[in-house]
Amino acid sequence: MAGGDALGDALGFRDAAALAVLLGPLALLAWLTGLPFLLPSLGPSAYVLVARERERSWRPLAREVVLGQVVGVAVAFAAVRVLVGPLAGLGLLPHTATGLHQVAAVVVAVVAATVGMTLLDARHAPAYATVLIFALGIPGRASGVLVFCGGVLTLLCLDAARCRITSLTPVRGR
Q: What pLDDT score was predicted for residue 151? A: 96
Q: What pLDDT score was predicted for residue 102? A: 87
Taking the C-alpha atoms of residue 72 and residue 117, their distance in angstroms, rounded to an integer, is: 8
Residue of 142, 130, 166, 160 lying closest to 63 (CA atoms): 160
Q: What pLDDT score was predicted for residue 40? A: 92
Q: What pLDDT score was predicted for residue 1? A: 44
Residue of 73, 16, 50, 4 lying closest to 155 (CA atoms): 50
Q: What pLDDT score was predicted for residue 42? A: 95
Q: What pLDDT score was predicted for residue 98? A: 82
Residue of 102, 70, 67 lying closest to 84 (CA atoms): 102
Residues of the chain with pLDDT under 70: 1-10, 53-56, 87-92, 168-174
Q: For the chain, what is the HEC assignment?
A: CCHHHHHHHHCCHHHHHHHHHHHHHHHHHHHHHCCCCCCCCHHHHHHHHHHHHHCCCHHHHHHHHHHHHHHHHHHHHHHHHHHCCCCCCCCCCCCCHHHHHHHHHHHHHHHHHHHHHHHCCCCCCCHHHHHHHHHCCCCCCHHHHHHHHHHHHHHHHHHHHHHHHCCCCCCCCC
Q: What pLDDT score was predicted for residue 173? A: 45
Q: What pLDDT score was predicted for residue 71? A: 97
Phi, psi for 116 (deg, rounded to 5)? -60, -45
